[in-house]
Amino acid sequence: MRALLWTISALVLAVAPAAPARADMLKAGDAFPGWTLPDHTGKSVSSADLAGKTYLLWFYPKAMTPGCTAEGRGLRDRNAALTGLSLTIYGVSFDDPATNAEFVKQESFPFALLSDRDEALAPKVGAKMFGLPVPRRVSYLVGPDGKVLEAYDSVDPETHAAQVERDLRALEAQKK
């Protein structure tokens, strides 16, 4: 039964058009809720660890699927530019740490992938896909003060990394 749900989920993700913004998504200026999740090595990572830093949480439906791989590769390939803008990147899925570790190794990701297996964070931030056992493809850029800088409700896996970089550069320009 679980395999059937994953197959249906993958099909829905492959053909679903971009959805309009959801009411449960956080918006720029909202406080991002506190969280603690295990990374792909089993180490706990929390929002408290990131206080004073700008970070991106990119929720992805399933490790090693085409869209998630494309999005991760985009972030990997722009990692130097993004970290040069003082950004820390974390991917988040419902996959277990071992699956995420395989994904990191397979794609040479220079950032950690977090496991929200208990769905502790995704429903709080509008990343829970109702009726399906995978999170929605959304991202949040969170500022040093713990507030949302940008909420990405309609993410194109092929262009998301470039979009995040543009937004970070625009935020930097506003500070000057």
Question: CA 29 to CA 15: how far, in whole Å?
Answer: 32
Respond yes or no: is residue 68 known to be catalytic.
yes
- Domain of 98 in residue numbering reads as 36-175
Report the domain count for the chain.
1
Chain CA centroid to CA 163, Å: 14
- Which of 13, 26, 57, 68 is the catalytic position? 68
> Where would I find the beta strands (DSSP E) of 26-77?
36-38, 44-46, 54-59
What is the share, in percent, of the chain residues with pLDDT greater than 90?
81
Residue at 137 is within a domain = yes
Q: Which residues pair with 135 in a beta bridge?
A: 128
Cα atoms in the Cβ-side hemisphere of radius 13 Å centred on 144:
7
Tokens linked to 127: 């990343």
Question: Over the stretch 135-164, which tens digit does the pLDDT of each residue have?
Answer: 999 999 999 999 999 999 989 999 999 999
Residue at 160 is within a domain = yes
CA distances (Å), origin 118, targets 42, 87, 94, 170: 15, 26, 8, 35
Residue at 31 is within a domain = no
Tokens linked to 29: 């200026």
**CATH, residue 158:** 3.40.30.10
**pLDDT-derived band at 15, boundaries 50, 70, 90:** very low
**pLDDT-derived band at 85, boundaries 50, 70, 90:** very high
Single pTM value for the model: 0.86
What does pLDDT average to over the chain? 89
Residue at 20 is within a domain = no
Residue at 109 is within a domain = yes
Residue at 27 is within a domain = no
Residue at 111 is within a domain = yes
Residue at 89 is within a domain = yes
**pLDDT-derived band at 24, boundaries 50, 70, 90:** confident
